[in-house]
């Protein structure tokens, strides 16, 4: 399966946040979306997730046009996302958080429980399964968001800075977790992050934005050497 967006343009009252950006992700693939702050990464994710309407352009999942589809229907159609600011259900347990996201899947209740348990242990939250979300540390809450997004049985997972605020050790664990998701669950991942060592180790392809425009895309090596990317984001020392 393939998630595509074509010529996405977004204006925020006169300010052009995205200018004709196109990209696509396939299942089993991890695409990294990088760029300086304010380059439009989250805006693009919001357009893909349906939280924001683009002024121009279209979003498609295979042949299904989802440009005008509200977020909840996109979720049903296999698009899940995590947020830059964690939005877990504070007063619910870790398990309930994950399960609440599985409610709209067509599984039976027993299957839902099994599937949620599988994801929870896979993401490594098994020990704190019955803790309330607001008692978790930051790294665990970030992982809970990923687990919850996974519980919707997505084909595509959109992750907005999942490693933000994590220490090296936590980000290493996250890397190992995310690495296996695409093949194990048959999911395509679009990930935004500023942790370049994570991105370089994890992603199969990169897409670079600057001031709302695509300045490079392709394999990690080609992007790393791209003069515009070095100038705008990575710097000479990378």
Partner 1 sequence: MMLQFIVDVLSLGSMYALFALGLVLVYGILKLVNFAYGELILVIGYSIFLLKGSPFPWFFMSFIAIIMCIFTSIATDYVAFRPVREKSVTAVLITSFAFATLLQNAALLLISAKPKNVPMPSFLSDSVQFLGVITPVRNLISIFVAVVCLFIFFQFMKRSLLGLAMRASATNFNMARMLGIPANLVITTAFALSGLLAGIAGTLWMSKISMVFPGIGLEPLLIAFIATVIGGMRSIQGAVLGGFILAFIDMSFNYLLPQDILKFRDAFTFSFVILILLIRPEGLIRGPATGART
Residues of this chain that bind partner 1 (CB under 8 A)? 49, 51, 71-73, 75-76, 87, 89-92, 96-97, 99-101, 103-104, 109, 134, 148, 152
Please state the closest distance from residue 112 (CB atom) to partner 1, in A: 8
Which residue's CB is nearer to partner 1, number 2 or number 107? 107
Which residue's CB is nearer to partner 1, number 96 or number 172? 96
Please state the closest distance from residue 66 (CB atom) to partner 1, in A: 14
Q: How many angstroms separate the CA atoms of 24 and 203, rounded?
A: 14
Please state the closest distance from residue 105 (CB atom) to partner 1, in A: 9
Q: How many angstroms separate the CA atoms of 25 and 189, rounded?
A: 7
Q: How many angstroms separate the CA atoms of 70 and 145, rounded?
A: 20
Backbone φ/ψ region at 168: left (φ over 0), alpha (ψ -120 to 50), beta: alpha
Which residue's CB is nearer to partner 1, number 53 or number 72? 72
* Residue 167 structure tokens: 């220490």
Q: Quickly count: other Cβ atoms within 10 Å of residue 110's Cβ.
A: 8
Please state the closest distance from residue 95 (CB atom) to partner 1, in A: 10
Please state the closest distance from residue 104 (CB atom) to partner 1, in A: 4
Which is nearest to 6 in space by CA: 52, 51, 48?
Answer: 48
Which residue's CB is nearer to partner 1, number 119 or number 209? 119
Q: How many angstroms separate the CA atoms of 95 and 138, rounded?
A: 17
Which residue's CB is nearer to partner 1, number 143 or number 205? 143
Angle between helices 94-102 and 138-151 (to 10 degrees): 30
């Amino acid at each position: 399966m393939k998630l595509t967006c074509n010529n996405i343009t977004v204006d925020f009252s006169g300010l052009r946040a995205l200018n004709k950006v196109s990209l696509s992700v396939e299942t089993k693939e991890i695409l990294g979306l990088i760029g300086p702050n304010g380059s439009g990464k989250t805006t693009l994710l919001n357009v893909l997730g349906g939280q924001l309407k683009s002024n121009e352009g279209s979003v498609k999942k295979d042949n299904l046009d989802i440009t005008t589809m509200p977020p909840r229907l996109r979720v049903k159609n296999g698009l899940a996302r995590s947020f830059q600011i964690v939005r877990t259900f504070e007063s619910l347990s870790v398990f309930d958080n994950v399960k609440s996201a599985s409610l709209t899947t067509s599984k039976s209740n027993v299957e839902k429980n099994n599937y949620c348990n599988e994801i929870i242990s896979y993401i490594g939250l098994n020990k704190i399964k019955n803790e309330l979300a607001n008692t978790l540390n930051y790294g665990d809450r970030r992982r809970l968001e990923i687990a919850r997004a996974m519980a919707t049985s997505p084909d595509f997972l959109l992750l907005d800075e999942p490693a933000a605020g994590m220490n090296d050790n936590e980000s290493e664990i996250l890397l190992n977790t995310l690495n296996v998701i695409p093949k194990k669950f048959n999911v395509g991942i679009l990930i935004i992050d500023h942790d370049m060592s994570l991105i370089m180790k994890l992603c199969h392809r990169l897409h670079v934005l600057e001031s709302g425009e695509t300045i490079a895309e392709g394999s990690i090596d080609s992007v790393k050497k791209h003069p515009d990317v070095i100038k705008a984001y990575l710097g000479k020392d990378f």
